[in-house]
Structure 1
Amino acid sequence: MIELWQKFTQIRLKTWLEISGLPKSSFYEWLEKLNKLDEEELKIVNMIKNIFEESNKTYGYRRITIKLKKLGIKINHKKVYRIMKENGLRCIKFTRRSRGYSSFKGEVGRIAENKLNRQFNVSNPNEVWGTDITEFKISGSDKKLYLSPIMDLFNSEIIYFNISTSPTVKFATDSLDKALKSLPKKHNLTIYSDQGFHYQHIHWVNRLEKRKVKQSMSRRGNCIDNSPMENFFGLLKQEMYYGQKFT
């Protein structure tokens, strides 16, 4: 086998070109193209490695594809997946799970109809907003921090957020008040949430009615109805909270 391979490698290029019927100019043209492709892929591989490291090894192929496109690199997510797999670039932080914060305290106010019904694809800004509350446990302490963001489903932008050591109704309505300041007078906004006591409260409901904002609530115990906010909290904690030490 070795001797046969040596014979093949000793055959001159001219002979191979005669056998294949390929012009010499075409051979060198394709050789140049292949070398160029190798250089371009090497450049992309290095960019992917840098983005992966800068994300503290938390970005998967989807997030890296988005980042590359923002940098002006047109690339298919399948190619990014292949390159990451070939180079051993694998997220290792997405293993921790913790019990989520629940603000449901029974029917303490008005529970709105589930008008959104998982229709999360939004074509215009200020068409559907989502909100929820999550908690962060402070290491070495019995204290907790609470985060209340309001997200526009059109582009997943966080319009406003509030942080507090106590998840009061005012804590939630403060976020809403700030977000509503950016809302045009003419709108067709629906804001959805879970059935937390903040969102059943008269102070929350009155603010929505005053600005003619429609309210939608997920069904009790069904986190999929509120999946955009749940996904946001999950990514947020995995990327910048779990495994980190804060003072």
Structure 2
Amino acid sequence: MVDQIRADQAQLPKSKRYKIGDILKAVGLKKATYHDERKRINNHQDKYADLKIQIKKITDNGKYRGRLTYGYRRVQTELVKLHIRVADTVTRRLMSELGVQVSLYNRHRNGKYSSYRGKVGQVSPNLLKQDFCQSQPYKTLHTDVTQVRLKNQKWAYISAITDEASKEVLAFQISNSPNRDLITKTLDGLIAKLPTNAKPIIHSDQGWQYQLNYYTQKLSDNSFIQSMSRKGNCHDNAPIESFFHVYKTECLAGFPPCKDLTELKTVSEEYIYWFNHQRISLKTKGMSPCEYREHTLAA
């Protein structure tokens, strides 16, 4: 209050201003108390100043295409790596003060593709039954197809295979049709990347592509084990559904649609590399997919 009175008087001529002693006497405040409080305020430092710097660095490192992707849980995980332990509420409050909160993931994404055409070939049993607890890489893989609309309003179709344990994207192909060639190229990309001794379960939905002989025979030729979701149950293949949601949210949402397949491939390849090598996840103990795979296989 005293400082406010002094500030108001600063607009007046000196001859009409009250002395500080007169003001203190009027408000009943001791001079020593006033000067002690002013000194304390002037010497006050933000005790979270260093922590704010670290939080800003972490969230900047978690940016993709200039946008924030790290929520407070992932920020907490990175702080622990730096031997900084602080309450969740503090981290959330400081992120709010810094303006580095994430708001991408609550938006609904369209472009869901359904390849179900009934029983057109061989339907395999559901070996996983929503038990997504695999911790060893190359043991359980998930595959599916989704679609993305291009600038010319045509659809691009994306086929991917992810590792349940590491979350690593092991194969990723884009085409203008969800045809046999797309699925075959996806499998070829997977086979080229897998260790020769890997014989994983490959889990998909009951899409027509995954029922036909060319697909089931290729799995058999490589000693892969086929598993399928129940009819019309997306939760049975939740890991790949989750990846597609994150991919569309972080890589594509909020930006102008890609003008053609070539641009979409370029943007997607950059994202997949970042996702595999840099993007940390709580599900992989705060490591990127590749870090988790290397760490686990070396143990």
Structure-1-length-normalised TM-score: 0.76
> Is the alpha carbon distance of 1:177 and 1:142 closer, same or farther for their aligned partners in structure 2, counting shifts above 3 Å?
same
Within 2, Cα distance between the matches of 1:184 and 1:83? 44
**In structure 2, what residue type is equivalent to 1:222?**
N
Partner of 2:112: 100
Within 1, Cα distance between the matches of 2:241 and 2:48? 41
Measured after TM superposition, the shift of residue 81 of structure 1 is 2.8
Within 1, Cα distance between the matches of 2:199 and 2:49? 51
Map 1:1-247 → 2, pairs under 5 A: 9=33, 37-48=47-58, 50-51=60-61, 55-65=66-76, 72=82, 74=84, 78=88, 79-94=90-105, 95-139=107-151, 141-245=152-256, 246-247=258-259
2:219–2:225 contact (8 Å) kept in structure 1: yes
Measured after TM superposition, the shift of residue 112 of structure 1 is 1.0
Moved more, 216-225 or 84-93: 84-93
Structure-2-length-normalised TM-score: 0.64
2:62–2:68 contact (8 Å) kept in structure 1: yes
RMSD: 3.2
Within 1, Cα distance between the matches of 2:246 and 2:122? 31
1:52–1:64 contact (8 Å) kept in structure 2: no
> Is the alpha carbon distance of 1:182 and 1:52 closer, same or farther for their aligned partners in structure 2, counting shifts above 3 Å?
closer
Q: Secondary structure at the match of 2:162?
A: strand
Within 2, Cα distance between the matches of 1:107 and 1:50? 48
Within 2, Cα distance between the matches of 1:77 and 1:134? 39
Within 2, Cα distance between the matches of 1:204 and 1:143? 26
**In structure 1, what residue type is equivalent to 2:124?**
A
Within 2, Cα distance between the matches of 1:38 and 1:67? 17
1:58–1:238 contact (8 Å) kept in structure 2: no
Unaligned runs of 5+ in 2: 3-26, 37-43, 260-299
2:205–2:230 contact (8 Å) kept in structure 1: yes
Within 2, Cα distance between the matches of 1:77 and 1:109? 54
In the alignment of these two chains, the number of paired residues is 225
1:114–1:218 contact (8 Å) kept in structure 2: yes
Measured after TM superposition, the shift of residue 37 of structure 1 is 4.9
Within 2, Cα distance between the matches of 1:217 and 1:77? 42
> Is the alpha carbon distance of 1:226 and 1:82 closer, same or farther for their aligned partners in structure 2, counting shifts above 3 Å?
farther
Unaligned runs of 5+ in 1: 13-33
Within 2, Cα distance between the matches of 1:123 and 1:213? 18
Equivalent pairs: percent with the same residue? 32
Measured after TM superposition, the shift of residue 208 of structure 1 is 1.1
